[in-house]
Amino acid sequence: MKASGSFAKRLSLNIISATGLLLILVALLLGFFSYIVNYKSAVKEASASLENNLLDIEKMLTDVEASTNSITWLLEKFNDNGDAIIDVAEHLVTSDTNIVACAIGYEPFEFDDNSVYFCPTAFMEGDQIRSKILGSADYDYQLMDWYLIPRLLGKPYWSEPSFDSDGSGRLIASYSKPLYHENGVFFGVIKADIDLKWLTEKVQAIKPYENSITVLAGRNASYITHVDSTKILNETLFTQALEAGDEKGLMVAKDMIAGNSGVQHFGNTRENGGIIVYGPMDNGWSGAIICSYSDIYSGVRKANLITLLIALLSLVALYYTDKSIIQRLTQPITEFAYSALNIGQGNFHARIPEIKTQDELRRLHDALGYMESSINNYIAELRTTTASNERFESELNIASAIQMQMLPKDFPNCDEIDLYATLHPAKEVGGDLYDFFTNGRNLYFCVGDVSGKGVPAALYMAITRAAFRFIAGLELPAEGVVQKINNSFCDGNDSGMFVTMFVGCINLDTLEMKYCNAGHNPILIISPDGKPEYLHAKPNLAAGLFEDFPYQGETMQLEKGSRLVIYTDGVTEAEDRVKNLYGEERLEQFAAKEDTAEDSVSFLTNLAASIKSFTLDNDQNDDITMMSIRLK
C-alpha cells in the first residue's frame, strides 16, 4: 500500500502504534494478574464468609442441643408424672427463645399401660405457651423420622427441615434426643423444634458480592435455604444437575453431601461462569456460596476500562505532541526536499537550508551541497565535451562529404561498357574505395578495402585512390600499379595499415583484361549466358605489408555480354541477426538469377536490396562497395 500523509504523521502513527501495542501488552499482563489476584481474593473471602456463618449457625444449633440435653434428666426422673412432663416441655420452649415447640414422645404403654401413644407437646402460640397431648393411629409419631431415627440410631439426631404441619408455612428443624431409663432401656424421644426463619434471613444476608447466592442443604441434599424460595425442600442440590446432565454439578453436590469442603469453577465463559465455595456443618448439613465471575471481576473490569480510557487519551495526546515535535525536527528535510526538487528542475544553484547541528541533517546538508557542486562541475565538463563532439561530428560530416566527392560520379555507359559503382560506409567515413577512368581505349578500374575503419581508414582510402589515379595514369600494368602503391604505402607506414584491392584494365577494343588481385575478394564474372563464376586470381598480399613484394598480374579475355562484379568483403560478410554471412554462394546465386542484359545501376540496386533483405534491420558492420562492369 502506498504510504500517504506527511512523514511526521506517519512517524507519529508508527510511534503511537508501537506505544499502543506496548500499552496493550502491559494492560493484558496487568489485567491477567489482576484477575488472578481477584480470583484468589474472592475464594478467600467467600470461604471465610461461609466458614464464619456456618460456625454461627452451628453455635445456635449447639445451644439448642445444650438446652434440650440439660432437661432430659428431669424426664428420666419424672416419667410417670404427666403434668411434670408437660412442665418440662413448656419450660424448654420458654427458656430458649430459639425453640418454638417441644414434644416428648413415649414408647407404647410406657407412660400408661393402656395407651399406645403419649406425646405431650408444648408450643408457642403468639406470645403464649400452649400444650396438648398428641399421638393416635392417625398421628403415629412413633413412625415419624424425628422419633424413629434417634431411636434406631441410639443418639441425637437433627431431622431434615420441613414445613410445619400446622399450616403456618414455617420452616422448622428438629433436634431429637433418645431417652433412656437408668437401666439403659429406651423409653422415648424428646424433640425441640426451631424456626428456621432466622436461618433463612441469616443465610440470605451472606453476600460477599452483590449477586452472590448462598444456599444451605440438608443431609438429603434438599435446599433448606435458597434465593428462589420455590426450590426450598422441593429440589435438591442434584435436581438441576440431573435434569441438565451436568456432570460437574453432580460432582460438586456429591462432594457437599459427603461432608467435604472445596472450591469449584462452573460455567463455560466468564459471562455465565463463576465459583462455588462449599463446606459442611457438624450436623450433616452443608452450605455453599455461589459467586459469578461478572461480580468477582466487576472491579477489575472497571479498573481496566478506566486504564484503557486513560491509555487511549494518552495515545491521542502523544500523537499530536509527537507530530508537532517531528514536524519541527523534520522541517529542514522538507526544505531539503524543495532544494532537491529545484535542483531536479535544473536550478543547480538552489539554496540549501542552513543546518547548525552536527547530526544526520548536517550530513544530509553536506551531501546535498556536494551533489549540487558535482552536478555543476559535471555540467561544465559536459558542455565542453559536447562542444568538442559537435565540432568533431561536423568535421566528420565534412570528411564524409569530401570522401564521397573523391569518388567518380560520371559512370560510363557507352557502346562498349556499362559501369556503375556504389559505396556505403558503415560509419561517417570508411576505408573502401573504388575508382575508374579511361585512358584512350583502356578502362582502368579498381576496388579496394583499407584495413580498419573510421578516419584512419578514410585517410588511407584517400591516399590509395589518389595513388591509383596517379600511378594507373602512367599506363603501368595492373601488377605494376599495385606494386607502386604497395611501396608508397610501406614507406613510413608505422600504423601498419594496408589495403586489399583489385586493379584491372580492360582494352575496350579487344576486351582483354589485365588485372592484379592484391589480397582482395575474388571478382565475379557473369558470362553472356548468365552463368556466374568467381575469378580466382594468383595469390598476392594486400598492399602496404611488405615493400617490393613481387605482385603478379594476369590476363584474361572477356566476352561481349559478360559482366564483372567487383566488391569488398562488406558484401559477402554482411551479417543477419544470428551472425550468418551473406557469403559468396548467396552472391553467386543472386548473380545467376539476374538478367544478363540488365544495366549496371539496376543490377547493383537489386544486389543492395538482396543484401538488405538478408540482413534486415541488423546494423551494417562494414563498408559495402560494389562495382558492376557490363560489356556490351
Partner 1 sequence: MLGKRTVTIALAIVTAIALHARETVRFMPAWTPQAQFAGFYVALDMGFYDEEDLDVVIEHMGINSSKPGIVRIAEGEIDMIGSHPIQALIARDAGTKVVNTLQVTQNTGIMVVSHKPIVNLQSLEGAKIGRWQSGFSEICELSCKANNLNVIWVPFLNGINLFLSGAIDATVAMSYNEYNLLVEATGGIPEENCIHFSDYGYDIPEDGVYVTEEYYNTHRETVEKFNRATCRGWDYCIEHPDKALDIVMKWTEKTGIRTNRYHQSLMLKSMNGLIVNPRTGKADYSPIPEDKFNRLIQALIDMQYISSPTSYKEFIK
Instruction: Report CA-CA distances (Å) from 609 to 87, 490, 568, 604, 606.
Output: 150, 38, 16, 8, 5
- The Cα 192–Cα 67 span in angstroms is 9
- Output the CA–CA distances (angstroms, integers) from residue 51 to 197, 225, 265, 542, in the order listed: 20, 16, 19, 126
Contact residues: partner 1, CB under 8 A? 137-140, 143-145, 148-149, 152-153, 157, 159-160, 162-163, 165, 219-222, 231, 233-236, 238-239, 241-243, 250, 253-254, 257
User: Which of 142, 422 has the CB closer to partner 1?
Assistant: 142
DSSP 217-269: E-TT-BEEE-SSGGGTTT-BTTHHHHHHT-HHHHHHHHHHHTT--EEEEESSS
Q: According to DSSP H, which parts of 264-359 are helical?
A: 293-296, 298-344
Q: Output the smallest distance, CB 277 to partner 1, in A.
A: 19
The CA distances from residue 105 to 157, 177, 180, 190, 553, in Å, are 15, 10, 12, 6, 166
Strand 512-518's sheet: what is its strand order?
432-439, 442-450, 499-507, 512-518, 554-557
- Rounded-to-integer distance, Cα 252 and Cα 262, Å: 9
R_g (Cα) of the chain, nearest Å: 66
Q: Which is nearer to partner 1, 202 or 219 (CB)?
A: 219
Beta carbon nearer to partner 1, 249 or 553: 249
Q: Are the CB atoms for 525 and 533 separated by under 8 Å?
A: yes
Q: From the CB of 176, what's the least distance to partner 1, in Å?
A: 11
Determine if residue 579 is left, alpha or beta; phi over 0 gives left, psi from -120 to 50 gives alpha, anything else beta.
left
Crossing angle for the helix pair 7-69 and 82-95, nearest 10 degrees? 150
Contacts of 466 (CB under 8 A, 6+ apart): none
For residues 284 and 583, which CB has a smaller minimum distance to partner 1 in the complex?
A: 284
Looking at the Cβ atoms of 1 and 143, the one nearer to partner 1 is: 143
Cβ at position 218, least distance to partner 1 in Å: 9
Is the CB of 152 or the CB of 317 nearer to partner 1?
Answer: 152
The least distance separating partner 1 from the CB of residue 141, rounded to whole angstroms, comes to: 8
Host H or E run for residue 358: none
All cell numbers assigned to 33? 494478574
- The phi and psi torsions of 417 (rounded to 5 degrees) equal -135, 160
Which backbone phi and psi does 37 adopt, to 5 degrees?
A: -60, -45
Burial of 116 (C-beta count, 10 Å sphere; 0-12/13-18/19+):
middle
Burial class (CB in 10 A: 0-12, 13-18, 19+), 500: buried
User: Which residue(s) pair with 195 in the sheet?
Assistant: 172
Give the number of other Cβ atoms within 10 Å of residue 7's Cβ: 14
Alpha carbon distances (Å) from 396 to 238, 304, 399, 403, 460 = 113, 86, 5, 10, 15
Instruction: CB nearer to partner 1: give 257 or 361.
Output: 257
Q: How far is the CB of 107 from partner 1 (least distance, A)?
A: 14
Spatial neighbors of 408 by CB under 8 A, at least 6 apart, are 435, 436, 437
C-beta of 236 vs 610, nearer to partner 1: 236
3-class DSSP string for 462-522? HHHHHHHHHHHCCCCCHHHHHHHHHHHHHCCCCCCCCEEEEEEEEECCCCEEEEEEECCCC
Cβ nearer to partner 1, comparing 28 with 152: 152
Least Å from the CB of residue 92 to partner 1: 22
> Cβ closer to partner 1: 202 or 254?
254
Residues in the chain: 632
Q: Which of residues 148 and 407 has its CB atom nearest to partner 1 in the complex?
A: 148
